[in-house]
A = this chain, B = another copy of it.
């Protein structure tokens, strides 16, 4: 497999040695171009971002953390512009290749990070996940990838999108490496793998293509076998997941507009049409619509608390399909993004940790099975991933 230079920012590669002797010694990592690296512009995947922001003087927390733990930084990776985009397209810097599905999109917005890890160009890569930006490329590129509990990994020094959705996550090719990074980033030792029940969300699986449902069945059975069987459930009333998805869009986009609009008003920056369009519609969200969306969000939180606070884990497909081919029209990309959004809204609305496991293959392309638990039990998800890998 060739190292995808297109996964990294153009120009000389940013590299930094890790602290010798740390727990991640011998591992390499890359950082999505939303994470500050001291002395290097943070580009955010948009040509007008770096030009209108100062070069950071300090590393982002997560970069510092991995360096302190001994990992070596080997580059910064391409991101969808200012973290907007779930399929991995970048009209300015190019779309990183999907090494696990040649000729297909890598997923995004942490597209370059997933691409670099999948190709073996580094062992670990940092990404961000506000609406699915680690989970989706992990699924489409066949990687372990996690969105942690909101706030569990500091987003200090990260180009922010939406304050109550932004998380800093990471990718790895194998569960052991993933778990080592988890210990460093979550700052805790991995617990014993445990789950007070394995819930399978049938309404979430119903959103996925039949080939994805079939591809994930063996992995589901293995997880069930490890924790006393699976319990089929419905997350919501019929049609309600669509409401969750739509209202998550409102919540997240309203926050993104509040965050980005001063910069946009000052600089009128360049964007791919779809990113600008989504921001333009975000600008029209009224306070009343935002309030309604947040009341739906509160219902999602209570539903997920009832299901998961006792220690159960929830299984859903990470994405409804495998990596879509390059060259789709915008209306087709929109349709695919919308379907992805339904699945990503569950953990996003409830600020839950979600780990995508690369345990499915359909039509020769990977698809991920996600495990979700209640807030704060992030390390337990990594421990379950490791146990599953070791039990193979």
Contacts and interface: CB of A to CB of B under 8 A. Distances in A.
Contacts of A330: 264-266, 268
Contact of A268 (B265, B274, B281): B274
A266 to B, nearest CB: 6
Interface string A271-297: 111101101110100000000000000
A91 B264 contact: no
Nearest to A89: B268
Number of copies of this chain that the complex holds? 2
A89 B281 CA distance: 23
Interface of A: 48, 89, 91-92, 264-266, 268-274, 276-277, 279-281, 283, 329-331, 333
Contacts of A265: 329-331
B268 A271 contact: no
- The 8 lowest CB-CB distance pairs between A and B, nearest first, are A276-B276, A277-B280, A280-B280, A268-B330, A265-B330, A265-B329, A91-B270, A273-B276
A130 B149 CA distance: 52
A272 B268 contact: yes
Contacts of A279: 273, 277
A288 to B, nearest CB: 19
Nearest to A283: B277
A126 B279 CA distance: 35
